[in-house]
Chains A and B, each alone.
Chain A
Amino acid sequence: MAAVEPILRPGFRPRRRGRRGYVRLRAMPIGDRLALGALALVTLLALLGPTLAPHDPLSAAGPANHPPSFTYPLGTDEVGRDMFSRVLTGLQSTWLAAFGVIAAGVLIGGGIGVIAGTLGGWADSVLMRVTDVFLALPPSILAIAVVTAIGPSLFHTLLAVAIFWWPYYARLVRAETRSLVVRPHMVAARLSGAGWWRRLFRHLLPGTFPTVIVAASLDISNLILLLAALSFLGLGAQAPAPELGSMTAAGLSSLLTSWWIPVMPALAIFVLSLVGNLSGDAIRDMVERG
């Protein structure tokens, strides 16, 4: 036998090289594929919303209280503004606000979780007890308190919710970090001379991504409902700004005379949270299948 034995004959290729992404998508159930498609569509609509709107969402475009028709697909409201344009614009602020708040939660919570998980010991205990205190208080009530204190506006609402949205992610990332730091690959990285920062950013953090992405995508629908509820209560964007929650609230008085005024924005909220939830499920399935 020669000194250097080749393990594989020339020409042998590994099994799934370069095909993983394709196989994953093809193996995905049709429902999951539809959910992800809907997610992409809603995001696109949210980004393009105002440009697609046929009319100015803030000024009258036709007769007041006009039922859904060919010219006004979702009808017009009590001052004659086009509901379709208002819902599209509202979609943008709600959808992007949800993403923004979640991103803030993931960043703050992830940071705290990673610090607690890697340092361990008393730092872990202190950070996690603080997290527990925040977790014990319901974010919606706290957000209401903060917004009433600093004055209602969409930005203030988002700020208030973002402040209280991180504890969940801190817990999640901390748990994930704890299980990753004891894995042999972290020891191996240390022995091969990788520094602390490199171990953190290359060997540890990427391992928390799948869990966080899944949690965040499932969280979107919660957040949309909460933001809609807050603006329904008058704590979000102020009239006449097109915001799905406040539109539903404002239109409620016309429910019996012109049903489309409150129902259309409410339906949009329903669709958004449904898409968020289903695509979250789809992403979880995808990650679990690996």
Chain B
Amino acid sequence: MSVADGHDGGGGTVGLAEPSPGRPAERGDVVAEAKGLDVFLTRDGREGHVLRGIDLEIRAGEIVSLVGESGSGKTMLAMSLLGLLPASASPRVEGKVNVAGVDMIGGDPARLEDVRRRRLGAVFQDPMSSLDPTMRVRGHLREVVDNDGDAIELLRAVGVPDPRRRLRAFPHELSGGLRQRVMIALAIAGEPSLIVADEPTTALDVTVQAQILDLLTRLCAEVGSSLLLVTHDLGVASQIAQRAIVLYGGRIAEEAPIDQLVRAPRHPYPAALLRSRLDIETDPSRPLPSLDGDPPNPGDLPPGCPFAPRCEFARPDCELAPPPLRPSAPDRSDACIRRDELDLRPAEVEVEPWTPPLVDRDHAALRADDLHVSVATGTLWRKHRVDILKGVDLRLDAGECVALVGESGSGKTTLINAVAHLVPASEGNLEVDDPAPQMVFQDAGASLTPWMSIRELIGERLRAGGVPRRERAERVAEVIAEVGLPPWVAAAKPSQLSGGQRQRVAIARAIAVPPRLLLCDEPTSALDVSVAAGILNLLGRLRRRLKLAVVFVTHDIAVARMVADRVAVMYLGRIVECGPAGRVIDAPVHPYTRALISAIPGSRGERIRADGPAPSLFDPPSGCAFHPRCPQAREGCAVRTPADQPESGSQQHWIDCVLAEDGSHDGRG
């Protein structure tokens, strides 16, 4: 196998504004095709029509992206191509699916097994559940190659450092990024004709995401295989794909070369997706143009265009019959009956700007000085304590929003848990304004007690907040309306709501008795882009109306820039850079912040790499914790722990780096 080493190359970053020119689509042979594909799945005794009349063609060497919100049917389409529809849902398939010349529907199971082994590769979102936890990396690889030499070669190709040692590792001993690389190694091993990657980067940190996308693209080119990239994020798709197929309600809404789709969508659904997407360039001074409502349940679609109920351009005749997919150019087609009258090119959208938040500089909502949090670890006999937070200073004025950003393991969540008094501080001083802060969690579903009704969950908060019993019902109705939910939600259980609705309920509970301080732990990272935009708007509106101070934990810099007045960048238990959101993100100074920001799809300027995985909290590097990954590290960095330094004399912008001490950084600020 001749595949390049994983760490070299990695050309310029490309974003939405300037889509990938890509390689010219070679008009090669058709590798995979679906014709008139209809798929029915049975769940809870009801048959749902999840894919409806899909026609699709993937040619040799092509990178095609399948885009849609959850419930659009994109994963089921990918699974149909792999011949892996879930047997538990007793799938019924009509139409034709041919992959590598083999009928994936009626084919003989042994034959399909063989095709999957030899001609297909698959990479899924969660590599941990795709890898056998009891099997070492060698065991996995030896299923696809004959000897250890080839296995090492494969690992090297996918950029796994120290491949000889990793062969002996179990999947749980690898970081998320490394596991995904192992999955990719398995997928490319047979030099397949088609690789299906279902949300391969969704579960990964941004810095790692960019590397994985690079890797997939380069390997596909070298092995000569086609790639079907399933994603909910048009931004990810526009980075590497040549063509995109947008699914909605189990139907193709639009199919087009990715640059044309991004520049001038012809169907209102991708247009709305593009508008609600936020990136590093989005204007934070006004609400996001959000796409209201939820994707339909593929089981019962409206009689007409599935998108009509959410479409701002819908006319009565849109609701009569599902519009057919019609070509508009040789390589484009879409399913909108109004396409010729609409101009959907991204334009300045008229959205009323936010009123500036009322920040009260005289009242601190939160004050942490030299905050340490440690956990006991080790065995019963040899206990020792490990610091998760190592001296955090943070002040938050009433009404202000600070975003905590950083990779997983940096201590962001521990910090807000300490603020909520969920974990005790081992050292330092922490002052939190009364009433006690409320929290909004990443997984809203898990934060709502499944067997309790929404009315009871919110009522419980009101009771604890001292609201008299007779006023509770009214207040419950009020907050439910406040967060933009219809009244019937009060009687529902969490399982009857969609992800976005659940997060709104969690927010309603948190503000039912308005706190001074709201802690948000990645509240949008598990949601679809369009739904997330609605939640961010809601939080922006509530914090202005209720004068809430907000600590917003996120790994997404674009989100941080959107919601926060100030940004604090965390690395291994310390805040390494903190300042006004605009300054920290547009002109970062600390090398770690710069690496983090340059890894964002669509960011301009040179790419700064933070190579290798984040070091472990249990074995932190000496001196500056970032020095082993720092491109600008010097001799002293391994010894001295840097102290907070004001950046260019500013009292609001602080950096934890020796570069700032002597002013030798190439400050772009």
Query: Is B534's beta carbon under 8 Å from chain A?
Result: yes
A1, B287: Cβ atoms closer than 8 Å:
yes
A191, B293: Cβ atoms closer than 8 Å:
no
Q: Which of A23, A184, A191 contacts B446 (CB 8 A)?
A: A184
A146-198 at interface with B (beta carbon < 8 Å): 183-185, 187-195, 198
B496, A193: Cβ atoms closer than 8 Å:
no
A175 to B500, alpha carbons, bound, how many Å? 32
Most B CB contacts (10 A, CB to CB) among A4, A9, A13, A192 go to: A192
Give the residues in chain B near A12, CB-CB below 8 Å.
Answer: 293, 309, 486
Distance between B575 CB and nearest chain A CB, rounded to angstroms: 24
Residue-wise interface mask of A (4-16) relative to B, using a CB-CB cutoff of 8 A (1 in contact, 0 not): 1111111011111
Query: Is B394's beta carbon under 8 Å from chain A?
Result: no
B414-461 at interface with A (beta carbon < 8 Å): 420, 422, 436-439, 441, 443, 446-452, 456-457, 460-461
Give the residues in chain A near B299, CB-CB below 8 Å.
Answer: 15
B171-218 at interface with A (beta carbon < 8 Å): none
A27 to B481, alpha carbons, bound, how many Å? 36
A4, B484: Cβ atoms closer than 8 Å:
yes
B448, A185: Cβ atoms closer than 8 Å:
yes
Give the residues in chain B near A190, CB-CB below 8 Å.
Answer: 422
Give the residues in chain B near A9, CB-CB below 8 Å.
Answer: 293, 309
Interface of B is mostly: loop
Query: Is A24's beta carbon under 8 Å from chain B?
Result: yes
Given the interface contacts A5-B537, A14-B492, does A185 sit within 8 Å of B292 by beta carbon? Answer: no
Given the interface contacts A7-B292, A185-B449, does A191 sit within 8 Å of B534 by beta carbon? Answer: no
A3 to B484, alpha carbons, bound, how many Å? 10
Give the residues in chain A near B290, CB-CB below 8 Å.
Answer: 1, 5
B496, A185: Cβ atoms closer than 8 Å:
no
Most B CB contacts (10 A, CB to CB) among A1, A10, A27, A188 go to: A188
Give the size category of A's interface with B.
35 or more
B449, A189: Cβ atoms closer than 8 Å:
yes
Q: Which of A183, A184, A193, A289 contacts B464 (CB 8 A)?
A: A193
Given the interface contacts A6-B484, A188-B441, does A193 sit within 8 Å of B293 by beta carbon? Answer: no
Distance between B348 CB and nearest chain A CB, rounded to angstroms: 14
Q: Which B residue sits closest to A189, measured CB to CB?
A: B449
B292, A5: Cβ atoms closer than 8 Å:
yes
Stretch of A52-60, A202-210, A239-247 lying at the B interface: A202-210
Give the residues in chain A near B448, CB-CB below 8 Å.
Answer: 185, 188
* Interface residues contributed by chain B, number (CB under 8 Å): 55
Q: Which of B450, B461, B488 contacts A193 (CB 8 A)?
A: B461
A190 to B450, alpha carbons, bound, how many Å? 16
A7, B436: Cβ atoms closer than 8 Å:
no
A30 to B460, alpha carbons, bound, how many Å? 41
Query: Is B45's beta carbon under 8 Å from chain A?
Result: yes
Q: Which B residue sits closest to A2, measured CB to CB?
A: B352
A189 to B299, alpha carbons, bound, how many Å? 34
Give the residues in chain A near B488, CB-CB below 8 Å.
Answer: 13-14, 17
Q: Which B residue sits closest to A191, measured CB to CB?
A: B439
B483-523 at interface with A (beta carbon < 8 Å): 484-486, 488, 492, 496-497, 500-501, 504, 506, 509-510
Q: Which B residue sits closest to A204, measured CB to CB?
A: B449
Distance between B251 CB and nearest chain A CB, rounded to angstroms: 19
Distance between A5 CB and nearest chain B CB, rounded to angstroms: 6
Q: Which of A17, A184, A194 contacts B496 (CB 8 A)?
A: A17
Interchain residue pairs A-B with the least CB separation, the first 8: A193-B464, A27-B45, A192-B461, A188-B447, A184-B447, A184-B446, A185-B449, A14-B496
Q: Name A's B-contacting residues (CB within 8 A).
A: 1, 3-10, 12-17, 23-24, 26-27, 183-185, 187-195, 198, 202-203, 206-207, 289
Given A23-B44, A194-B464, list of 5 further CB < 8 A pairs? A5-B534, A7-B504, A12-B486, A187-B447, A191-B420
